[in-house]
Chains A and B, each alone.
Chain A
Amino acid sequence: MSFETKIKEEYKWGFETNIEREEFPKGLNEDIVRLISKKKKEPEWLLDYRLKAFKIWKEMEHPTWQYSTIPKIDFEDLYYYASPKSTKEAPKSLDDLDPELLATFEKLGIPLQEQKRISGVAVDAVFDSVSLGTTWKEDLEKVGVIFCSISEAVEKHPELVKKYLGSVVPPTDNFYAALNAAVFSDGSFVYIPKGVTCPMDLSTYFRINAKETGQFERTLIVADDDSYVNYLEGCTAPQRDENQLHAAIVEIVALDNAEVKYSTVQNWYAGDKEGKGGIFNFVTKRGICKGVNSKISWTQVEAGSAITWKYPSCILQGDNSEGAFYSVALTNHKMQADTGTKMIHIGKNTKSTIISKGISAEQSENVYRGLVKIMPSAKNARNYSQCDSMLIGDKCAANTFPYIDVKNPTATVEHEASTSKISADQLFYLQSRGVDPEKAISLIVNGFCKDVFKTLPLEFSVEAVKLIEMKLENSVG
C-alpha cells in the first residue's frame, strides 16, 4: 500500500435550488448601490453610509500582501443582489416561505419550521442576499433579546444599528470591508440587553444559491452590560465551475462584563480537485471588548472555500477583558487558506489566547497569520499563542506568520508552534492495533484538533468532527 493522498471530491451540499429569483443587473456603480438601498427601503443615513463606502472602495486597490494566489476578480461581472422572487414582499412568517426554500434548508439539515426545531437553538436563514426569517423570535422577545435580519433591525431598531454599524470594522478598514459596506444585502442582527443571558444559542445559516452572485452579508452582535450569548454560524453553497465571491463582515461589541462566543463551521464549496470553481471567502470578522471584564471568543472550523482569507480578531479595550481565537483550518486539493487572528491589547490586564490548528492535504496551502499587539496602555497584558500545522502527504504546504508587537514591558507573550506530518509510521502504528487507515487518519486528526473542538457547543463539535472525517475520506490510497 502506498501512502498517498486521494481525497473524495464529493460535496453533498452541492445541489442547486431551482427557484425564480430577482437579480439586479451585473456590475457595480452608484446606481446599483442606490438600488439596493431603495429595494430595502432604507433610511437616508444608511444610503449615505453605503455611498461613502462605495467611494472609498473605488479609491482602493485590491490587496496583494496575502500568501494565496488570487486570480483577478472582475467586479463588473458579478451580480450584487439576488433574492428569491417569492419573498419580494418580506414573508410575514416562515409559513409564507416558498416550500422549495423550506425544502432546501431541510435538505441542509436546518429545519426552519419551529415545531420541528430541536429546542435550544434559534436560527436565522440567509439565502443569497436575503434573510428568510428567524425562528423562536417570540421566545427571545420575552427576555428582550433582539435576533432578526439586519434589514429588519434597520427598520425597527435604527438607533442601535446606527450606533454600532461600522464601529468595529469601518468601511476604510480594507478593500472588502469597503465593498461590503457599500453593497451588503442581509445578515443577522443580535442585541442582548443588560443583564440577560440569552436563553438559547443563536444561529445563522448562510446559503449561496444564485450563480455569479456575490454574497455580502453583514452581522452585528451587541452584548450590553452583564449579558451572555452563544452564537453559531454555518454556511454552504452549490457546486459550480465558476468561482463565487463571499465578502462578509461580522462585528461584535461586548460592553461591561458581557461575554460573546462566536462559532463558525465554514463549509462553502471548495472547488473540484483540479481547483475549478469554489468560493472565495474574504471575510472581516472583528469584535471589540469595549467594557471592563468583557470576553469575546471566536471558534472556527474552516473546511471549505477555494480561498479563505479571514482573521477573526479582538480589540481588548476594556480593562481585564479577554479575547480568544480557536481555529481548525483544513485544506485539501488546491484549496488555499490564509487565516489567523489579531489580538489588540489596549486595556490593563487584558488577556488573549490563540490556538490554531492547520491541516493540509494534497496540493493545498495553509497559512496561519496572526498579530499580537500590546499597546503602551496595556499594563500586565498576557497572550498565549499556539500554532500547530499538520501535513498529510508531501505535496501540501503549511506556513506560519506570527507578528508580535509589544509596546509595554510588563506584558507576557508566549508563542509555541509545531509542524507535524501524518507519517507512514504513525499510520502503521495505529493499523498494527487493528485500526483501519481511514479511522486511523480521523483519530490522528481529531486528536490534533481536540483543543479547538472542545470549545465548540456539543452539537457543532459533533458536526465538525464528521465534516473533517468526511473531507479526509480516502486520504490514504
Chain B
Amino acid sequence: MSLLKVENLKAQVEGNDILKGINLEVKPGEIHAIMGPNGSGKSTLSKVIAGHPDYEVTDGNLEFNINGKMQDISELEAYERARDGIFLGFQYPIEVPGVTNIGFMRESFNALCEHQGAELMEEEEFRAFVKTKLPTLNMSEEFLDRAVNEGFSGGEKKKNEILQMLIMNPRLALLDETDSGLDIDALKTVADGVNSMKSKFNAFVLVTHYQRLLDYIQPDFVHVLYKGKIIKSGGKELALELEKKGYDWLIEESKQ
C-alpha cells in the first residue's frame, strides 16, 4: 500500500512548465531524498504536493492515502492536505509578526484534531505537550512565546519547522532544503528530530542539495531531478556518487 503516488505529474507556475512528468511512489516507513542541480524543480515538486496555489497541475495524477484509500488530492486546498497528514517544511520559513509561536501551533494542531475528530487541547495542556518535544531539538521554552519566526536566526527557523512537524505528526513530511544554511550542530539536531518521528507509519521526502544531511538521515531511495524529470533513482550510494562526481555525468547519460 502506498502513501503517496505521483504519476506523470506536470505542473507550471506563471505559464512556465517546471515539472514535466514526474513519477514517484512513497510507501509508509520510507525515506526518499530528492537531489538535483539548481532550478531542476525540486522545491516545486514539494510545493505542488503540499498544494501551493501558485502552481498549477496541468497533467498527471497526484494521489495520497486517506483513510486507507488512494485518493486524488490535486483539487484539495493546501490546508485540507495538511489536515489529511501532509506537512511541508519550508526552505524559507515565513515570519508572522504579533502571533506567538505557541498560539500558532495550537491553532494548527487543533485544526488537525478537529478534522480527525480528536479532542481539542486547552492552552495549558498543549504547552505541556509541546514542552516534551523541545529537548530533542535543543530549543528553550522561550521560543514558544516569541512571534512566529520573527527575529529567529536561520538555524532557529529550521528547528522551528521541525518542531511544528513533531507537533503535527504528519504521515508524509516534505522537507524542502531544511539542511541549507545550517551548521553541523544544527544539522545534527534537525536530523535527530526527523529520526525521533520516523516510524513504519510515516514517510519523509527530503529535498536537498548536499549529501551531508544524508549522513545523519539514512534515505532508502535517492532520486535525481533534472529539468522537471527524475533522471535517475537509486539507493543511498547514489548520493555518495553524486557527491564525488557531480551531476554532469548523469545529465549526459540521460541525454542518450
Q: Which residues of A contact B (CB under 8 A)?
A: 1-3, 424-426, 428-437, 439-440, 443-444, 446-451
Q: How far is the CA of A424 from the CA of B14 in the complex (A)?
A: 14
Give which listed residue, B82, B96, B98, contacts A431 with CB less than 8 A.
B82
Would you give the 0/1 interface string for B104-129, flagging 1 where the beta carbon is closer than 8 Å to chain A? 11011001100100000000000000
Q: Which residue of B lies closest to A1 (CB)?
A: B53
Give which listed residue, A424, A436, A447, contacts B99 with CB less than 8 A.
A447
Asked whether, in the complex, the Cβ of A425 is within 8 Å of the Cβ of B94, the reply is: yes
Q: Which residue of B lies closest to A447 (CB)?
A: B98
Contact residues in B for A431 (Cβ distance below 8 Å): 51, 77-79, 82
Asked whether, in the complex, the Cβ of B164 is within 8 Å of the Cβ of A1, the reply is: no
| 20 A–B contacts, CB within 8 A, in A order | A1-B77, A3-B53, A424-B54, A426-B96, A429-B93, A430-B96, A430-B104, A431-B82, A432-B50, A432-B79, A432-B81, A432-B87, A434-B111, A435-B79, A439-B107, A444-B96, A447-B99, A447-B147, A449-B98, A451-B98
Q: How far is the CA of A429 from the CA of B94 in the complex (A)?
A: 7
Q: Which residue of B lies closest to A423 (CB)?
A: B94
Q: How far is the CA of A446 from the CA of B97 in the complex (A)?
A: 9
A contact patch SS = helix
Contact residues in A for B131 (Cβ distance below 8 Å): none
What's the nearest-Cβ distance from chain A to residue B164, in Å? 6
Q: How far is the CA of A449 from the CA of B168 in the complex (A)?
A: 27
Q: Which residues of B contact A (CB under 8 A)?
A: 50-54, 77-79, 81-83, 87-88, 90, 93-94, 96-99, 104-105, 107-108, 111-112, 115, 147, 164, 168
Beyond contacts A433-B104, A443-B107: 4 other A-B pairs, Cβ-Cβ < 8 A, are A1-B53, A430-B96, A432-B51, A432-B82
Asked whether, in the complex, the Cβ of B78 is within 8 Å of the Cβ of A428, the reply is: yes
Contact residues in B for A448 (Cβ distance below 8 Å): 97-98
What's the nearest-Cβ distance from chain A to residue B4, in Å? 16
Asked whether, in the complex, the Cβ of A435 is within 8 Å of the Cβ of B107, the reply is: yes
Asked whether, in the complex, the Cβ of A2 is within 8 Å of the Cβ of B98, the reply is: no
What's the nearest-Cβ distance from chain A to residue B23, in Å? 24
Most buried by B among A3, A428, A450: A428
Contact residues in A for B107 (Cβ distance below 8 Å): 433, 435, 439, 443
Asked whether, in the complex, the Cβ of A426 is within 8 Å of the Cβ of B94, the reply is: yes
Give which listed residue, B90, B94, B108, contacts A435 with CB less than 8 A.
B108
Asked whether, in the complex, the Cβ of A436 is within 8 Å of the Cβ of B111, the reply is: yes
Most buried by B among A1, A424, A429: A429
Contact residues in B for A440 (Cβ distance below 8 Å): 79
What's the nearest-Cβ distance from chain A to residue B114, in Å? 9
Q: How far is the CA of A434 from the CA of B88 in the complex (A)?
A: 11
Q: How far is the CA of A435 from the CA of B168 in the complex (A)?
A: 12
Q: How far is the CA of A424 from the CA of B53 in the complex (A)?
A: 8
Contact residues in A for B99 (Cβ distance below 8 Å): 443-444, 446-447, 450
